[in-house]
Amino acid sequence: MLSRIADSLFWLNRYMERSDFELRVIRTNYILSFDMSMSDDFSWKDVITLFSHTHDEAVLEHGHTISSSLAYLVSNTKNLNSIKVLFTRARENARGVQDNITKEVWEQVNQLYHIVNDPQLEQKITGSRALEIIDLLDQNSTLFYGVTDSTMPRGQGWNFMNLGKFIERCILTIDTTYAHFKKIEHKLTKAQDILFWRGLLLSLSGYELYLKTYTRGQHNNNVVDHIIFNKDFPRSLIYSLVRIKRYLEKVAEDTKLEESVILQRNLGRICSRVEFADLEMIQRESLPHFLYSLRKDLVEFSNQFTRIYFSYA
């Protein structure tokens, strides 16, 4: 497979994963924001910070009202992580590799692109039909996952796509969790009721599973356990890391590059930090430090991976 193609497939899926997640966060917060009890600890500014990584007041201004938040997060092209920009970039990547993805996958990405490039998007998203539009985007994003799963051949392209997807997912889970725990200053001992965690768990599509799995104990610790160690939860760190490991093995097997071994070793180290940790250890290290250093290592790994497999320019 051409390096450029692998690169584009990797990024196609990173953008799709990011937008899928962002849409879910927007949807969850949009609905929750109407609950009075949430108003204390809920702010659109937090959502904007999460996806723009900025503390710039001018940007955070957008968080004052629901409609300006939605406009910024969905249709503003100055926001590099707006849904419109993400789908446009995903489509650019898909366009460059059209002969390496199935017609069905291409048509689905193309469809999303046309939805977000509707000239009336901003008007619709800021009006009373906002939820309808978010749902439409969410459904089409889900269709992308379905169509990819049911039509893409399980070759190298598939492996690179999945590496993109799970690396992105892992980073997103870390970021969201970090941001949510920050609201209680990362104090695991400071007890919170389930309402406080609902926003986070719903954004990660893990609310119901959480309720089923953790019937007793203190929520704070349970949520950490769920997000980091629950192997049945598709957005937990351990789940994503195991997938990354699996797809990296396949890529290494296919390409037979010498440098693959170094990559596999580095990833192994990252995985073992989660696999062989427990709640107590994390508490000793402190949760923010654990999440921060994990993220740093993962980003480093991703850069190294890019250098080895995509160096074509």
- Say how far apart CA 200 and CA 124 lie, in whole Å: 26
Q: Residue 184: in which H helix or E strand, if any?
A: none
* Positions in 110-129 near another protein (CB under 8 A): 110-111, 114, 117
107 lies in the binding site for another protein (CB under 8 A): yes
Question: Which residue among 76, 156, 173, 222 contacts another protein (CB under 8 A)?
Answer: 156
Rounded to 10 deg, the angle between the 237-255 and 260-275 helix axes is: 160
Question: Which residue among 78, 231, 256, 284 contacts another protein (CB under 8 A)?
Answer: 256
Q: Which is nearer to another protein, 125 or 238 (CB)?
A: 125
Cβ proximity of 310 and 5 under 8 Å: no
Question: Which residue among 251, 270, 282, 294 contacts another protein (CB under 8 A)?
Answer: 251
| Both structure tokens of 221 | 């610790």
Q: Which is nearer to another protein, 155 or 268 (CB)?
A: 155
Question: Which residue among 35, 53, 80, 103 contacts another protein (CB under 8 A)?
Answer: 103
- Say how far apart CA 111 and CA 117 lie, in whole Å: 10
Phi and psi at 293, nearest 5°, equal -70, -30
Give the DSSP letter of residue 100: G
- Which of 214, 213, 228 has the alpha carbon at shortest distance from 277? 228
- Say how far apart CA 89 and CA 22 lie, in whole Å: 15
| Both structure tokens of 211 | 């309720």
The minimum distance between CB 136 and another protein, in angstroms, equals 15
The minimum distance between CB 9 and another protein, in angstroms, equals 10
The minimum distance between CB 243 and another protein, in angstroms, equals 19
The minimum distance between CB 311 and another protein, in angstroms, equals 8
Question: Which residue among 11, 106, 239, 301 contacts another protein (CB under 8 A)?
Answer: 106
Interacting residues with another protein (CB under 8 A): 1-6, 92, 95-96, 98-99, 103, 106-107, 110-111, 114, 117, 156, 160, 251, 254-257, 309, 312-313
